[in-house]
Amino acid sequence: QAVCGFGSQDALPFRAIKEGELYFQEDREVNLVELALATNIPKGCAETTVRVHVSYLDGKGNLEPQGSVPSAVSTLTDELLKYYQHVTRAVLGDDPQLMKVALQDLQSNSKIAALLPYFVYVVKSVSHDLEQLNRLLHIARSLIQNPFLCLGSYVRSLISSVMYCALEPLAASINPLNDHWTLRDYAAMLLSRIFWSHGDLVSGLYHQILLSLQKVLADPVRPLCSHYGAVVGLHALGWK
């Protein structure tokens, strides 16, 4: 947590108690008389400082030393860029067999951690085209199934895109011949899978999802298709 005030840029000192492995911040005594009579009055609040410790795992699962940044994070190589272009074209293209191969590789490739934000951005680029939305959900499913990817803060973005597919009225919903119900069923299932497998990465995610679904369900202005998406979403999360 950031510490604001007129203090120094150094980290706060911690002391350990003798009775156990418990550490606390050591508050120094302040002479109020000296502070009141001081002539060097601060003119403004100092910049907020946060000391961060970052560790990376290399390709073999070993912890790299503090301060080192893997090449996959620092730079995006030509190979990764080409991989990203080929996968997105394959998934959004017209060849179903090529799409299947691309999705299978996306959920098992151990060297695409640097591309995670790029693929999450693709999933977020939602539209009203049912076929495209369905393929974007397939990308999201492959990402959460890849055991080599740590979604971290991207969980919230993925859930936002999935809930869009479940709750948004969509222009295609106007035509009764368009099967947007299957898309909402698939989005609800994926929402449950993301939550139960990665929900612990984001604090407060459980209540945020419930509030979003309940808000849509209780809104009489929303169309039936949005209410349906909220119902199947709640059902997919489980009776509890």
| Domains: count for the chain | 1
Length of the chain: 240
Rounded Cα gap, residues 175 and 128, in angstroms: 13
* pLDDT for position 231: 96
> Which residues on adjacent β-strands are paired with residue 49?
3
Tell whether 14 is covered by a domain.
no
Which residue bears the tokens 């934000």? 117
d(CA 115, CA 149): 10
Torsion over CA of 32, 34, 38 and 43, rounded to 10 degrees? -40
Question: Residue 171 and residue 206: Cα distance in Å, rounded?
Answer: 29
Do 140 and 162 meet the contact criterion of CB atoms below 8 Å apart? yes
What is the CATH classification number for the domain harbouring 149?
Answer: 1.25.40.770
Residue 112 lies in a domain: yes
**Does any domain span residue 223?**
yes
238: left (phi over 0), alpha (psi -120 to 50) or beta: left
Report the interhelical angle of 154-167 vs 130-145 (nearest 10°): 150
Using alpha carbons, list the distances in angstroms from residue 158 to 27, 68, 70, 203: 42, 29, 25, 15
DSSP-based three-state secondary structure for 63: strand
* Structural Rg of the chain based on CA atoms: 25
In this structure, the number of other CB atoms found within 10 A of the CB of residue 199 comes to: 16
Residue 165: inside a domain: yes
- What domain range includes position 92? 71-237
Q: Is residue 55 part of a domain?
A: no
Determine the 3-state secondary structure of 13 from DSSP: coil
E strand or H helix that includes residue 77:
none
Question: CA torsion angle for 51, 55, 56, 57 (degrees, to 10)?
Answer: -160
**Is 186 within a domain?**
yes
Q: What is the three-class DSSP state of 16?
A: strand
Is 37 domain-assigned? Answer: no
What was the pLDDT predicted at 42?
Answer: 58
Asked, for residue 44, whether it belongs to a domain, the answer is no
Given a contact cutoff of 8 angstroms between Cβ atoms, the answer to whether 166 and 117 are in contact is no
pLDDT (tens, 9 = 90+) of the chain, 240 residues, equals 555 555 555 666 777 787 777 877 777 777 888 777 877 665 655 555 555 555 545 444 455 554 444 444 445 788 888 898 899 889 988 899 999 999 999 999 998 888 888 888 887 766 778 888 899 999 999 999 999 888 888 888 899 889 999 999 888 788 888 889 999 999 999 999 998 888 877 788 888 899 999 999 999 999 999 999 999 999 999 887
